[in-house]
Amino acid sequence: MTGAIPRYSALALLRARLSGGGFWSPLWTGRKLKDAYDVVVVGAGGHGLATAYHLARDHGLKVAVLERRLVGYGNVGRNTTIVRSNYLLPENHYFYEDSLRRWETLSKDLNYNVMYSPRGVLDLALSDGDMQDMARRGNAMRLAGIDAELLDLPALERFCPELEPRRQRRFPIFGGMVQRRGGTVRHDAVAWGYARAATAHGVDIIEDCDVQGLRTAAGVATGVETSRGYVKADRVLFATAGHTGMIGTMLGMPLPIETHLLQAMVTEPIKPMVNTVIIYVYPGHGEVYVLQSDKGGLVMGGFLDGFPSYTREGQWSRLENVVEGTVAVLPRAAGVKIVRQWAGTNDMTMDGSPIIDRLRHDNVFLNAGWCYGGFKTIPASGAACATLVATGTAPDLIKPFKLSRFQTGHLLDERGGGPFPVRL
Amino acid sequence: MNRLTCPFCGPRELREFEFHKTLPEPGSSPYARVYERVARLDESTEHWQHVLGCRAWLRVRRNPSTDAVLETTLLGGGAT
């Protein structure tokens, strides 16, 4: 790492302590917007920052990241921090597995502690059908060399005794599937770590800079119009998550994306109670996932609110569903107070899988459609997307995520639900 | 946005209704009708169904930035 940003180490920490704190300095603020760049990345979220980092580090390009609000204001700071690669389709599980491998070493790569915690991701089966479905998905994963274990009741009891799997419930627990290398990563640290590392490699991160238009000449993009003036760019990448639909509208090209809200909530901190990430579909209530943050709060989330919205306010009925589903499986969580609830805008594609491809022009790129699974893919997406933008050729890993797949019929419909993001 | 007004049943709680999809522009290709979505911050025209009520199909105009409902009409009931 080069530049004015000091490397973190135990020795640096000690030196900072002894010198009274003067060692610490702002990590990415204060950069001036230049007139021209090799690549302009729109959106300083996880995917934009990770791509910028790899563009500068691996390909030596001059990069600016333009952000309308603040670094990490959107979904990278709003998700429930879960990382896993337990997907059914080969196109998906190879890509998500590449990401999980990168999470394992990311703290070292970025010289920033992102607090990767491989506490396991447990899919809970509440019916015999759930068990068969998990066995099928687990087998698909194992054929690809990814770890997955089907747990019967005794094994589940050993893995997560707090669940009391044999307890009498309205919907009894049948078993589960665990991916032990899955777990959690501190989400804010990912945004900050990538922003710091990108800055150290010469990337200019400009906050409070609204991109309002794309300037083109002879069919190629020449730069972007922003609230801080025109910026010339050889290549432009849009990584704007929930507002990707607006990018389509701006370029006069409707996208197969609908924006929906996903909410999450966290309780007051309590003593250690859940040692893993628990995910299940509670009959009649939809999906529920529960984990305990390192601070002690129970973090809970569920399914999409159900209709397109940009308000970032969750529906009360969905919050109720999530809480009822949580208490039904973890009765001891009843009575714990919820201290915060929030929502993020999700760019839902019509097959539930992402889009990393060119957009309309030869030198304009799109990194979007992450639905509700964008956080866990940040490291893989950043590296692969940077290769696409820098070389013009997509690595094999992201070739299936073409925009044209909706036209050619090569959909990646993991859920098998058809072109309706909210239908279960 | 906590309620929708069904033309038959009157104002009802939102959880009685189910969103189906945003409506395509008139004259869109079959591909566009299935896969593409018109994205606007100020207005969205959508198919909904009163699934836990009279099961009528509705056309709802909303502002997705505020979730304010602008208009609810019966689908195929003249105002499509």
CB B24 within 8 A of CB B8: no
Q: What is the pLDDT, as a whole number, of residue B79?
A: 45
Give the total number of structural domains in chain A.
2
Q: Render the burial of A228-242: b for 16+ CB within 10 Å, e for the rest.
A: eeebebbbbbbbbbb
Are A303 and A177 in the same domain?
yes
CATH classification of the domain holding B28? 3.30.2270.10
Contacts of A258 in chain B (CB under 8 A): 21-22, 37, 39
Q: What is the pLDDT, as a whole number, of residue A167?
A: 93
The ipTM, to two decimals, is 0.93
Report the gap between the CA of A350 and the closest CA in chain B (Å).
6
Q: What is the pLDDT, as a whole number, of residue A2?
A: 42
Q: Give the pLDDT confidence of A203-235 residue by residue, as tens digits.
A: 999 999 999 999 999 999 999 999 999 999 999
CATH classification of the domain holding A62? 3.50.50.60
Q: What is the pLDDT, as a whole number, of residue B77?
A: 60
Are A50 and A152 in the same domain?
no
Does the residue A416 lie in any domain?
A: no
Are A280 and A392 in the same domain?
no
Residue A376 is part of which domain span? 10-18+28-78+187-256+351-408
CB B62 within 8 A of CB B1: yes
User: Which residues of chain A fall below pLDDT 50?
Assistant: 1-3
Q: CA angle, A273 as apex, A270 and A275 as ends, to 5°? A: 130
Asked if the C-beta of A316 comes within 8 angstroms of chain B's C-beta atoms, the answer is: yes
Are A197 and A151 in the same domain?
no
Asked if the C-beta of B33 comes within 8 angstroms of chain A's C-beta atoms, the answer is: no
Instruction: Tell if the CB–CB gap between A307 and B19 is shorter than 8 Å.
Output: yes
In DSSP notation, A166-177 reads TS--SS---EEE
Q: Where a domain ends, among A300, A321, A349?
A: A349
Q: Crossing angle of helices A187-200/A378-391, nearest 10°?
A: 30
Are A269 and A333 in the same domain?
yes
* Token pair for A269: 């901190």
Asked if the C-beta of B35 comes within 8 angstroms of chain A's C-beta atoms, the answer is: yes
Are A238 and A312 in the same domain?
no
Written as one letter, the residue type at A364 is: V
Instruction: Tell if the CB–CB gap between A306 and B67 is shorter than 8 Å.
Output: no
Q: Is A207 helix (H, G, I), strand (E, B) or coil?
A: coil
Q: Is B52 helix (H, G, I), strand (E, B) or coil?
A: coil
Does the residue B80 lie in any domain?
A: no
pTM (two decimals): 0.95
User: Which residues of chain B fall below pLDDT 50?
Assistant: 79-80
Q: What is the pLDDT, as a whole number, of residue A103?
A: 98
Does the residue B79 lie in any domain?
A: no
Are A148 and A273 in the same domain?
yes
Best of B18, B36, B69 to disrupt the A interface (most A CBs within 10 Å) is B36
- Within 253-272 of A, beta carbons closer than 8 Å to B belong to 254-259
Name the one residue in this structure whose structure tokens are 């998700």: A79
Residue pairs between chains A and B whose CB atoms are closer than 8 Å: 65
Q: What is the pLDDT, as a whole number, of residue A424?
A: 56
Does the residue B60 lie in any domain?
A: yes
Does the residue A355 lie in any domain?
A: yes
E strand or H helix at A17: helix A10-18
Are A303 and A220 in the same domain?
no
Are A38 and A66 in the same domain?
yes
Does the residue A39 lie in any domain?
A: yes
Q: What phi and psi values does residue A176 have, to the nearest 5 degrees? A: -175, 180
Are A263 and A345 in the same domain?
yes
Are A240 and A277 in the same domain?
no
Contacts of A257 in chain B (CB under 8 A): 37, 39
Q: What is the pLDDT, as a whole number, of residue A13?
A: 85
Q: Give the pLDDT confidence of A165-203 residue by residue, as tens digits.
A: 999 999 999 999 999 999 999 999 999 999 999 999 999
User: Radius of gyration (Cα) for chain A, nearest Å?
Assistant: 22
Q: Where a domain ends, among A349, A365, A386?
A: A349
Does the residue B68 lie in any domain?
A: yes
Written as one letter, the residue type at A310 is: Y
Instruction: Tell if the CB–CB gap between B19 and A254 is shorter than 8 Å.
Output: no
Which residues have C-beta within 8 Å of that of residue B51, sequence separation ≥ 6? Answer: B16, B17, B18
Does the residue B55 lie in any domain?
A: yes
Are A161 and A264 in the same domain?
yes
* Token pair for A63: 């990069």
Residue B35 is part of which domain span? 3-74
Does the residue B21 lie in any domain?
A: yes
Written as one letter, the residue type at A421 is: P
Give the total number of structural domains in chain B.
1
CATH classification of the domain holding A134? 3.30.9.10
